[in-house]
Amino acid sequence: MTQLTMKHLRYFDALARQRHFGRAAEASSISQPALSLQIKELEEILGAPLVERGPRQVRLTALGEDFALRGAEILRAVDELAALGRTGAGPLAGRLRLGIIPTVAPYFLPQLIRRLAERFPDLDLRPREAVTPRLMRDLAEGRLDLALVALPVSEPSLAEHPLFDEDFLLVRPAAMAGEPVPALENLREMPLLLLEEGHCFRDQAISYCKLPPALAGEIMQGSSLSTLVQMVGAGIGVTLIPEMAAAVETRSAEVVLHRLPDPRPSRTIGLVWRRTNPLAPQLAELAAALLPPAAMPQDGIAG
């Protein structure tokens, strides 16, 4: 009789997350027929169906939902056991799954990789970019070891390690270069471009501008900071961007940057990881290696 294996659990976990055989197979680095065979074999072992197979989407049965939850717990425990074996092996080494938010990844990830390669040459870093809610879910479910996000996340199960603070900058069309920097009450009245929902940077900007929820839903939205800056350059409105993004995002746009008057909007960037992670002491050492970030040139920012 075929026995239940970790391979069965990992393949079903991928299917439960993707809800699609093709995407689950790609995430698992196997062919779709091979994945389907493993899921069918798992259902035969359990003696009951785990999924409803539709033409475009997979739905989990009631048993499948329960099995996915228990299976994720087992996989997380196994990963933590593997991590436990690395705690006494000296400097941090081996695979490390790092989540990073989109408003940080393009600007800080290159220097982060360089620093960690110098400090931990045997580290196999696996970065993954996603919005904060997805990263928090993947951390909780053991699919990530740590994440670089805007703090605080206010999750009791996670340890937070601040790295640095940075200001938000106002981006306006180049034609407005000689105009005074607007006060907060005037900024609220301007056509403000923000990231689409799900990005924590959007929520921080709305909070700073003290925009009512009803109005925030009507603001023009973009999928990336690059899109927002280009829209500003086209004269559609104004936007806020984190200071680390300024040099990259404004070099090909007809825009001008301004520092806002005090109290300036800002954010704290830091690392978070599960308090139960056996690698917590080494992760704290890793965080210390990233302090402070390398200087980021920010020429052309008006006061």
Note the pLDDT tens digit of each residue in 82-120.
Answer: 666 565 555 677 889 999 999 999 999 999 999 999 989
Residue ranges making up the domain that contains 80: 6-84
Paired tokens of 108: 């800080």
Q: Is residue 1 part of a domain?
A: no
The CA-atom distances, in angstroms, between 94 and each of 86, 120, 237, 276 are 8, 10, 46, 19
pLDDT value of residue 292: 66
Pair 214, 132 in one domain: no
State how far the Cα of 242 lies from the Cα of 168, in Å rounded to an integer.
5
pLDDT at 212 over 60: yes
Q: Where are the beta strands (DSSP E) in 107-265?
A: 123-129, 146-151, 158-173, 192-195, 220-222, 238-242, 255-259
Q: Give me the CATH number covering residue 19.
A: 1.10.10.10
Q: What is the CATH number of the domain that holds 130?
A: 3.40.190.10
- Number of domains making up the chain: 3
Q: Is 89 domain-assigned?
A: no
Verify that 128 and 271 share a domain, yes or no.
yes
Task: Give residue-wise pLDDT tens across range 176-197.
Answer: 988 888 888 788 788 889 898 8
- Judgement on whether residues 218 and 280 belong to the same structural domain of the protein: no
Residues 139 and 287 in one domain: yes
According to the model, what pLDDT value does residue 171 have?
95
